[in-house]
Amino acid sequence: MNMTDSEKAAKVIEALKAAEGEPAQIALPILNGLVGLVQGGGEAPLEFEEARSGAFLAICEIGKALHRGQPADQLWAPAIAAAERWQALAR
């Protein structure tokens, strides 16, 4: 069964909230698991694609910071907000 974009976005939001505050060794595998959900899947309106790619980039930023041992505290909220925007447009 294929997930709808709204379902994918909901899973991403749930995973981001679960990973937030976890140490890098726990958060990174969660973030890595989101990549397939956030990648584009065909033609979609520009606003929708921008929201989806914004969520993707925000997740990548968290991953890079965690991987480098840098603080990521300020990156979670924008990533969750981007995923929520994507979900809102997917409905």
Q: Return d(Cα 16, Cα 77) in angstroms, integer.
A: 9
Q: Is the pLDDT of residue 1 over 90?
A: no
Give yes or no for residue 28 having a pLDDT over 70: yes
Model confidence at 91, in pLDDT bands (50, 70, 90)? confident
Burial of 42 from C-beta contacts in 10 A (0-12 / 13-18 / 19+):
exposed
Question: Does residue 3 carry a pLDDT above 90?
Answer: no
Residue 8: HSE in the Cβ half-sphere, 13 Å Cα cutoff: 20
Q: What is the pLDDT of residues 37-70, one digit of tens each?
A: 898 766 788 898 899 999 999 999 999 999 999 9
Give the residue ranges of DSSP H helices in the chain.
5-19, 24-32, 35-38, 46-67, 73-90
pTM, full prediction: 0.91
Of 17, 40, 38, 13, the closest CA to residue 27 belongs to 17
